[in-house]
């Protein structure tokens, strides 16, 4: 591997990084200057994501984590979030920052490069999201984490509500990589009145820790 | 004008003054004022002139039921100033006037009403026909409702939200608030929409007793406070509901207040159940000059005083048909208004306590009398009253006429929700005969007037809505129903529409200047259906959406025709119920499009970016849109194209090959490792819909590309066409996972071999070969040797995160060769010279594989695969009368026809798909779809270009491809 060849995230915030780290040729921002107290928009695009497709999904355990039975359900264990999408398909998101190779099983496809991966966490997150989508992240009939698939700022997205509580609320979302710039601009614009700012990976880890993950 | 500042019902803060500019003068309003009430406080009585006759108009309803108070505010025309809150620095101008509203030079139009009968626009000045365009210009100059410049840019922030609710309550009056409380008490998420800036409805401003000595306004505030403290209720005030759609999708728009981050925002709510508690507005009383400034409805006069602290006049006459009129007369008298007389249309049925109170104040009270004429040139100076039959008449000097025929329910939301309305003889209302599932009505709009009954009705509706959401409330509902039944029911309504007058200046629709006489003229011309009369006379087609004429028009028509068979039917209302800025619908204007990983570097390199489908792509790399240098460079040197937008897929599994066989026309079992296979897809009609290449990457594991346009639908296309087979295969869309660089030109290999960690010589990596290797030990590449632009080309598929790095590496490696970018347009010309097709450009919905000369791709022998489109391909292979793709060259080499130009003789015989000047061939060439008889080589084509008049261009059908027909340049 040539360390001078950089991989680039589809997301670039108009903020000065205060702390960075190199991982697998990605330049990862750990912290931005003047992050304030949130809510935060965090770029998780370098984190590994797999697509799993098989007619016998129940027999597959990505990283030892079971795939939930019903579409819309999620399992979050060992830093791996597994989202059941439909009868034959699940998404596997590695939230810890590790970059494991996909298992040899043919069911797996590495889709890290396919999508932009964002976290929107902190106070009044759902006041921001309701400006962008009619997806119901606070549906009382669902317990977090749960997956919704639908338009977010008019772009087809997969969105997982990881936490509903008002102070620590948070969602994770992915969509086609090409939409990254416009999606980020739309989210930041919607969040401006609530003090939304870009934040680095540390903010994400702190948030996960606060949630007890 | 002195304000009443001591009233507990006020919604203004007189201590906070807010200036506004009107007619080049600065006026002072106060916090809480609307623009119109601020002007009224400063003595402005005429706010606008009417559409057609330029009649003076002023405050009438205070709820935006007509265009009387439409003005230009901060350069925005048609702002309804009676419900637009005053903000600091506003500049207000009158519209549709020449001069000022007080002295409008177009005021003479009012005397020309005889020349503008019903249907004037359809019937007059049309013969001879040449007159009409001239007349139309003059009509448009004289009439109108606001003017907007074509380049006008709407300032402000317009937002949108999509909140979720179990129950959506429309209307924040007592019934609506009770409904919201009842539903919220069941733990449901409730949204309450209220069009005024505060809750309270018709309790809000009234000091009359609610119960046990508590005044209505205090009860309203209690209810509002409790609701505001309920965490599972969201209140959207100053929010007008504008639409209702399937499955209780409710749309609304909200005006922003001082602390809001928006000027206006669009709200879209998906609710399980909806409660409509929109209450009533007043039904206008029709008499001569019934819209003269100084004539206003009961609620308008009462709220001016009680909400804004403004006495609506000095000396008043009341001509009313409802107890609210008596109550208002008493209260306004107590606040200092002189009341000359209260004329009640009703002979009986009044609340005796109110009649006694009138008597106690020595206010003359006449039963069975009605206003027949408002006098005064610009504002009211005198009123004529008469008995209902018109036998007696009296005049009163006054500056205020409070006039109302009674109440009418606000049923617009119910109509939009598909409720069936029918006329109710008791109330005189159009009431819902049947409500759609999960829609409920409550409160005053059902004819209730008693305060406790209204609340009980709302409570019951809230429980009904909760039941819709699956909550078990049977016992509560039973109790609520019994409570409602124990209260007074709907009150008898007044039926009078028209005072005993001829109706020449009795306006049934203020927005459109439609008079009773116009309605009579329409009926005399044979119109009997109210909907047709509405259209012919335009009554109710203005921005008020029937707020003024909506009830009176069908009643008047039914009464006028007087036949038993003619039942009163309400006219249809449509969304948006309230005029809304287009800017509000547009929201925050985010144009969501996709960008490739090298978007920025292309732009920095001079790329002219264009929206192409969902993508933004570099179409040109200079301002020379012929792309001469880009094209010549690829033909003679080497260029780089960003082709990342191509669709890319992985398909795998035991039955992946069968799926490919089903969807592609070729025999896909012949896809061999290390090679690229080009093929096409057709639909069931045999029409070509896509093309691309397939490579095999492992056992039952394939990677294929599609056109950019089909990238979003190809996965579903595979699944749809294999849905009954139960095959075991998977497909994943990798379009965004890989960036693609097309490195093309005779020197392409010299660039690639500098950076690739593999042998890319012609022998090791021949034409239509497929290889996987790394670049600079780091970047994994899937490389295809293709030739879309007709030169030695490498299509390099690379993980998107590495795309920019590879782009930079190739640019650096090619620097000494003067490598340069080329864009989509250059590619378009290059591939056209080679006659390589773009599906959609050289094909259309009816173009088969055979029509474009790609029939050779179809493998007729794989019948077991049941290839999509194969049956139709068999039937159309030799079919006559089809359009065929041909190449052509122009007779006049200085002239290139436009794309889309028609091929003609005496009829249309085809069209040009693409034509460009070929810098390689140094003449214009193109491709056209023409009728089969014209596709023979040497045929002369006659070309009709738009706006060419009688002149024609001529071309000749020639063999294709135009460039390198042997394909030697692909194989070097």
Residue B123 lies in a domain: no
Strands B688-698 and B677-682: antiparallel
Residue B723 in contact with partner chain A when CB distance is under 8 A: no
How far from B332 is each of B216, B298, B339, B350, CA to CA, in Å? 16, 11, 8, 18
How far separated are the first and last CA of chain A, in Å rounded?
33
**Please, which pLDDT band fits residue B566 given cuts at 50, 70 and 90?**
low
Q: What is the DSSP string of B608-645?
A: EEEEETTEEEEEESSS-TT-HHHHHHHHHS-EEEE-TT
Task: With a cut of 80, say whether residue B171 has pLDDT above it.
Answer: yes
Task: With a cut of 70, say whether residue B20 has pLDDT above it.
Answer: yes
**Please, which pLDDT band fits residue B388 given cuts at 50, 70 and 90?**
very high
Task: Return all residues near B127 (Cβ < 8 A) that are at least 6 apart.
Answer: none
Q: Compute CA A32 distance to the chain's CA centroid, rounded to the nearest angstrom.
A: 19
Q: Work out how many CB contacts closer than 8 A connect A with B.
A: 121
Q: Which of B47-51, B306-310, B739-743 has the lowest mean pLDDT?
A: B47-51
Cα–Cα distance for residue pair B737/B98, rounded to 1 Å: 63
Cis? peptide before B193, omega within 30° of 0: no
Cα–Cα distance for residue pair B558/B3, rounded to 1 Å: 44
Cα–Cα distance for residue pair B391/B372, rounded to 1 Å: 12
Most B CBs within 10 Å, among A56, A177, A180, to test the B interface:
A177
Task: With a cut of 70, say whether residue A95 has pLDDT above it.
Answer: yes
H runs (alpha helix) in B231-377: 298-306, 323-335, 352-360
Task: With a cut of 90, say whether residue A213 has pLDDT above it.
Answer: no
Cross-strand partners of B933 = none
**Please, which pLDDT band fits residue B947 given cuts at 50, 70 and 90?**
confident
Task: With a cut of 90, say whether residue B191 has pLDDT above it.
Answer: yes
Mean pLDDT score, A143-160: 97
Q: Do B590 and A179 touch (CB under 8 A)?
A: no
Look at the alpha carbons of B136, B138, B143, B147 in this order and tell me if their dihedral is positive or negative. positive
DSSP classification of residue A26: E
What pLDDT, in 10s, does the model give residues A105-119?
899 999 999 999 999
Residues B660 and B574 grouped into a single domain: no
Task: With a cut of 90, say whether residue B803 has pLDDT above it.
Answer: yes
Residues B413 and B478 grouped into a single domain: yes
Residues B465 and B324 grouped into a single domain: no
How does B90-120 read in b/e, with b if 16+ C-beta sit within 10 Å?
bebbbbbbeeebbebebbebbeebeebbbbb
Q: Give the H or E element holding residue B384.
A: strand B382-387
Which is nearest to B443 in space by CA: B198, B180, B206?
Answer: B180
- At residue B565, the pLDDT reads 62
Look at the alpha carbons of B236, B242, B244, B245 in this order and tell me if their dihedral is positive or negative. negative
The total of other beta-carbon atoms located within 10 Å of residue B711's CB is: 26
- At residue B837, the pLDDT reads 96
- At residue B376, the pLDDT reads 96
Q: Do A190 and B270 touch (CB under 8 A)?
A: no
Q: Is A63 left (phi over 0), alpha (psi -120 to 50) or beta?
A: left
Cis? peptide before B128, omega within 30° of 0: yes
Could you tell me which chain A residue has the CA closest to the CA of B727?
A55
Q: Do A134 and B590 touch (CB under 8 A)?
A: no
Strands B158-161 and B264-276: parallel
Q: What is the DSSP string of B24-85?
A: TEEEEEEET-BHHHHHHHTT----EE-TTT--EE--S-SS--SGGGEEEETTEEEEEGGGSB
Minimal C-alpha gap between B197 and chain A (Å): 21
Minimal C-alpha gap between A51 and chain B (Å): 8
**Please, which pLDDT band fits residue B590 given cuts at 50, 70 and 90?**
confident
Which of residues B733, B750, B779 is at a domain's end?
B733
Cβ-contact B597, A10 below 8 angstroms:
yes
What pLDDT, in 10s, does the model give residues B861-887?
999 999 999 999 999 999 999 999 999
3-state SS, B808-861, equals HHHHHHCHHHCCEECCHHHHHHHHHHCCCCCCCCCCCCCCECCCCCCHHHCCCC
Which of residues B58, B93, B115 is at a domain's end?
B115
Nearest-CB residue to B736 (from A53, A176, A183): A176
Q: Do A140 and B596 touch (CB under 8 A)?
A: no
Residue B847 lies in a domain: no
Residues B291 and B398 grouped into a single domain: yes
Residue B789 lies in a domain: yes
- The total domain count for chain B is 7
Residue B856 lies in a domain: no
What pLDDT, in 10s, does the model give residues B592-637?
999 999 999 999 999 999 999 999 999 999 999 999 999 999 999 9
Which of residues B672, B705, B733 is at a domain's end?
B733
Instruction: Name the B residues in 637-666 with CB < 8 Å from any A CB.
Output: 650, 652-653
Residues B628 and B743 grouped into a single domain: yes
Nearest-CB residue to B778 (from A5, A46, A140): A5
Residues B441 and B470 grouped into a single domain: yes
Residue B366 lies in a domain: yes
- At residue B949, the pLDDT reads 86
Ranges assigned E (strand) in B477-614: 507-509, 514-515, 594-595, 608-612
- At residue B774, the pLDDT reads 98
Q: What is the DSSP string of B134-192?
A: HHHHHHHHH--S----TT----S-EEEE--EEEEEEE--SHHHHHHHHHHHTTT--EEE
Chain A contacts of B469, Cβ < 8 Å? none
Mean pLDDT score, B50-74: 94
Mean pLDDT score, B886-915: 96
Residues B701 and B754 grouped into a single domain: no
CATH number at residue B33: 3.10.20.440
Q: What is the mean pLDDT of chain B?
A: 95
Chain B contacts of A109, Cβ < 8 Å? 650, 732, 734
Q: Do A182 and B734 touch (CB under 8 A)?
A: no
Strands B883-890 and B820-821: unpaired
Residues B625 and B766 grouped into a single domain: yes
Which is nearest to B645 in space by CA: B622, B618, B680?
Answer: B618
Cα–Cα distance for residue pair B481/B458, rounded to 1 Å: 11
Residues B426 and B390 grouped into a single domain: no
Which is nearest to B237 in space by CA: B191, B203, B280?
Answer: B191
Ranges assigned E (strand) in B510-667: 514-515, 594-595, 608-612, 615-620, 639-642, 647-652
CATH number at residue B679: 3.30.70.1400
Q: Do A114 and B734 touch (CB under 8 A)?
A: yes
Task: With a cut of 70, say whether residue B2 has pLDDT above it.
Answer: yes
- At residue B951, the pLDDT reads 92
CATH number at residue B801: 3.30.1360.120
Task: With a cut of 90, say whether residue B144 has pLDDT above it.
Answer: no
Strands B295-296 and B393-397: unpaired
Could you tell me which chain A residue has the CA closest to the CA of B700?
A106
- At residue B68, the pLDDT reads 95
Residue B843 lies in a domain: no
**Please, which pLDDT band fits residue A10 given cuts at 50, 70 and 90?**
very high
Label residue B623 exposed, middle or buried (CB < 10 Å: 0-12, 13-18, 19+): exposed
Nearest-CB residue to B163 (from A130, A183, A192): A130
Task: With a cut of 80, say whether residue B1 has pLDDT above it.
Answer: no
DSSP classification of residue A65: P
Residue B512 lies in a domain: yes
Which is nearest to A41 in space by CA: A79, A15, A22?
Answer: A15
Nearest-CB residue to B594 (from A113, A179, A185): A179
The total of other beta-carbon atoms located within 10 Å of residue B222's CB is: 14
Cα–Cα distance for residue pair B179/B190, rounded to 1 Å: 10
Residue B164 in contact with partner chain A when CB distance is under 8 A: yes
Tokens 């309803």 label which residue?
A: B61
Tokens 């602390």 label which residue?
A: B259
Residues B822 and B895 grouped into a single domain: no
Q: Do A130 and B802 touch (CB under 8 A)?
A: no
Residues B714 and B726 grouped into a single domain: yes
ipTM given for this complex = 0.97
Minimal C-alpha gap between A92 and chain B (Å): 14
Residue B7 lies in a domain: no
Which is nearest to B170 in space by CA: B267, B261, B39, B81?
Answer: B267
Q: Is B780 left (phi over 0), alpha (psi -120 to 50) or beta?
A: beta
The values of phi and psi at residue B356, to 5°, are: -65, -40
B2 compared with B307, residue with greater pLDDT: B307
Minimal C-alpha gap between B181 and chain A (Å): 19
**Please, which pLDDT band fits residue B564 given cuts at 50, 70 and 90?**
low
- At residue B259, the pLDDT reads 87
Most A CBs within 10 Å, among B160, B730, B733, to test the A interface:
B730
The total of other beta-carbon atoms located within 10 Å of residue B600's CB is: 15
Residues B366 and B433 grouped into a single domain: no
Q: Do A153 and B592 touch (CB under 8 A)?
A: yes
Task: With a cut of 90, say whether residue A97 has pLDDT above it.
Answer: no
What pLDDT, in 10s, does the model give residues B267-286?
999 999 999 999 999 999 99
Helix pair B628-636, B824-833: axis angle to 10 deg: 60
CATH number at residue B326: 3.50.50.60
Mean pLDDT score, B665-694: 97
What pLDDT, in 10s, does the model give residues B512-551?
999 999 999 999 999 989 999 999 999 999 988 778 888 9
Q: What percent of chain B has pLDDT over 70?
A: 100
Could you tell me which chain A residue has the CA closest to the CA of B644?
A178
- At residue B203, the pLDDT reads 97
Minimal C-alpha gap between B736 and chain A (Å): 5
Task: Give the tokens for residue B201.
Answer: 């409805």
Domain around B564: 507-582
Dmax over Cα atoms in chain A, in whole Å? Answer: 50
How does B770-788 read in b/e, with b if 16+ C-beta sit within 10 Å?
bbebebbebbebbbbbbbb
């Amino acid at each position: 591997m040539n360390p001078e060849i950089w991989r680039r995230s589809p997301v670039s915030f108009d903020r000065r990084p205060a702390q960075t780290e190199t991982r697998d040729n990605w330049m990862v921002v750990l912290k931005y200057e003047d992050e304030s107290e949130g809510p935060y928009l965090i770029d998780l695009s370098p984190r590994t994501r797999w697509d799993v497709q098989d007619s016998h999904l129940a027999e597959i355990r990505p990283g030892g984590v079971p795939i939930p039975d019903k579409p819309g359900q999620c399992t979050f264990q060992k830093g791996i979030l597994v989202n059941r999408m439909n009868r034959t398909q699940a998404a596997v998101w590695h939230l810890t920052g590790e970059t494991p190779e996909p298992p040899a099983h043919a069911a797996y496809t590495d889709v890290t490069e396919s999508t932009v991966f964002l976290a929107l966490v902190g106070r009044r997150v759902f006041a921001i999201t309701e400006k962008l989508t009619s997806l119901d992240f606070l549906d009382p009939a669902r317990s977090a984490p749960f997956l919704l698939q639908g338009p977010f700022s008019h772009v087809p997205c997969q969105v997982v509500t990881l936490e509903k509580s008002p102070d620590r609320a948070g969602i994770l979302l992915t969509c086609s990589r090409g939409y990254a710039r416009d999606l980020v601009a739309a989210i930041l614009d919607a969040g401006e009145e609530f003090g939304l700012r870009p934040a680095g990976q540390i903010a994400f880890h702190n948030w996960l820790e606060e949630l007890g993950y | 004008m002195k304000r009443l500042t001591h009233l507990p019902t006020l919604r203004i803060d007189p201590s906070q003054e807010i200036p506004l500019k009107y007619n080049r003068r600065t006026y002072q309003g106060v916090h809480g004022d609307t623009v119109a009430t601020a002007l009224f406080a400063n003595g402005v009585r005429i706010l606008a002139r009417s559409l057609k006759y330029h009649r003076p108009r002023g405050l009438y309803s205070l709820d935006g039921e007509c265009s009387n108070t439409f003005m230009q505010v901060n350069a925005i025309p048609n702002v309804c100033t009676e419900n637009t809150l005053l903000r600091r620095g506003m500049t207000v101008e009158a519209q549709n006037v020449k001069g000022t509203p007080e002295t409008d030079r177009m005021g003479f139009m009012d005397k020309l009403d005889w020349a503008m009968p019903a249907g004037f626009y359809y019937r007059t000045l049309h013969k001879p026909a040449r007159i009409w365009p001239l007349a139309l210009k003059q009509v448009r100059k004289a009439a109108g409702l606001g003017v907007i410049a074509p380049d006008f840019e709407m300032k402000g922030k317009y937002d949108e939200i999509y909140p979720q609710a179990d129950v959506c309550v429309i209307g924040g009056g007592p019934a609506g608030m009770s409904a919201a409380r009842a539903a919220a008490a069941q733990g449901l998420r409730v949204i309450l929409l209220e069009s005024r800036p505060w809750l309270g409805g018709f309790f809000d401003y009234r000091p009359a007793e609610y119960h046990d000595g508590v005044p209505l306004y205090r009860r309203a505030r209690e209810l509002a406070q409790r609701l505001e403290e309920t965490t599972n209720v969201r209140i959207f005030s100053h929010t007008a509901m504008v639409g209702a759609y399937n499955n209780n999708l409710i749309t609304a728009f909200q005006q922003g207040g001082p602390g809001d981050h928006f000027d206006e925002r669009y709200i879209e709510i998906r609710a399980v159940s909806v409660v409509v508690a929109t209450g009533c507005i007043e039904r206008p009383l029709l008499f001569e000059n019934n819209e003269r400034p100084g004539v206003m409805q009961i609620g308008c006069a009462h709220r001016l005083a009680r909400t804004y602290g403004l006495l609506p006049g000095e000396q008043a006459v009341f001509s009313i048909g409802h107890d609210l009129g008596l109550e208002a007369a008493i209260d306004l008298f107590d606040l200092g208004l002189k009341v000359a007389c209260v004329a009640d249309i009703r002979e009986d049925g009044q609340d005796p306590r109110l009649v006694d109170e009138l008597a106690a104040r020595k206010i003359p009270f006449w039963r069975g009398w009605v206003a027949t004429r408002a006098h005064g040139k610009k504002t009211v100076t005198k009123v004529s009253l008469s008995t209902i039959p018109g036998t007696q008449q009296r005049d009163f000097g006054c500056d205020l006429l409070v006039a109302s025929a009674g109440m009418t329910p606000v049923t617009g939301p119910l109509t939009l929700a598909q409720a069936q309305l029918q006329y109710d003889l008791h109330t005189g209302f159009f009431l819902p005969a049947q409500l759609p599932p999960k829609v409920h009505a409550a409160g005053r709009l059902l004819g209730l007037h008693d305060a406790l009954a209204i609340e009980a009705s709302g409570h019951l509706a809230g429980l009904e809505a909760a039941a819709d959401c699956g909550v078990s409330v049977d016992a509560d509902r039973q109790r609520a129903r019994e409570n409602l039944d124990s209260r007074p029911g709907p009150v008898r309504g007044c039926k009078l529409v028209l005072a005993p007058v001829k109706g020449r200046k009795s306006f049934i629709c203020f927005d459109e200047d439609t008079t009773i006489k116009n309605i009579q003229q329409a009926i005399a011309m044979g119109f009997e259906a109210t909907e047709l009369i509405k259209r012919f006379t335009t009554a109710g087609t203005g921005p008020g959406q029937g707020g003024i004429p909506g009830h009176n028009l069908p009643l008047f028509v039914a009464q006028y025709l007087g036949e038993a068979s003619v039942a009163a039917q309400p006219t249809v209302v449509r969304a948006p119920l309230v005029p809304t800025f287009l800017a509000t619908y547009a929201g925050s204007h985010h144009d969501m499009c996709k960008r490739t990983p090298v978007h920025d570097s292309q732009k920095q390199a001079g790329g002219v970016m264009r929206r192409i489908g969902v993508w933004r792509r570099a179409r040109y790399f200079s301002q020379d849109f012929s792309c001469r240098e880009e094209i010549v460079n690829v033909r003679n040197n080497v260029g780089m194209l960003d082709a990342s937008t191509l669709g890319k897929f992985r398909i795998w599994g035991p039955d992946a090959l069968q799926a490919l066989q089903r969807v592609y026309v070729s025999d896909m079992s012949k896809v061999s490792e290390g090679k690229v296979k080009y093929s096409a897809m057709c639909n069931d009609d045999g029409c070509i819909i896509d093309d691309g290449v397939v490579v095999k990457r492992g056992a039952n594991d394939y990677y294929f590309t599609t056109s950019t346009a089909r990238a979003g639908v190809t996965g579903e296309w595979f699944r749809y066409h294999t849905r009954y087979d139960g095959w075991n295969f998977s497909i994943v869309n990798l379009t965004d996972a890989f960036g693609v660089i097309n490195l093309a030109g005779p020197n392409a290999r010299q660039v690639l071999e500098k950076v690739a960690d593999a042998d890319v010589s012609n022998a090791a990596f021949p034409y239509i070969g497929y290889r996987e290797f790394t670049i600079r030990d780091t970047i994994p590449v899937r490389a295809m040797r293709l030739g879309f632009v007709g030169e030695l080309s490498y299509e390099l598929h690379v993980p998107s995160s590495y795309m920019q790095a590879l782009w930079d590496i190739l640019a650096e490696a090619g620097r000494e060769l003067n490598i340069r970018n080329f864009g989509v347009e250059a590619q378009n010309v290059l591939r056209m010279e080679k006659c390589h097709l773009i599906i959609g450009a050289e094909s259309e919905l009816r173009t088969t594989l055979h029509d474009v000369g790609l029939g050779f791709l179809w493998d007729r022998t794989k019948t077991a695969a049941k290839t999509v489109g194969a049956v139709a391909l068999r039937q159309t292979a030799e079919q006559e009368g089809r359009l065929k793709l041909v190449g052509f060259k122009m007779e006049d080499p200085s002239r290139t026809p436009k794309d889309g130009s028609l091929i003609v003789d005496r009829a249309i015989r085809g069209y040009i798909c693409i034509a460009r000047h070929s810098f390689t061939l140094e003449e214009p060439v193109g491709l056209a779809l023409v009728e089969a008889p014209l596709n023979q080589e040497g045929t002369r084509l006659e070309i009709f270009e738009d706006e060419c008049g009688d002149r024609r261009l001529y071309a000749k059908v020639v063999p294709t491809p135009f460039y390198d027909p042997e394909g030697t340049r692909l194989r070097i």
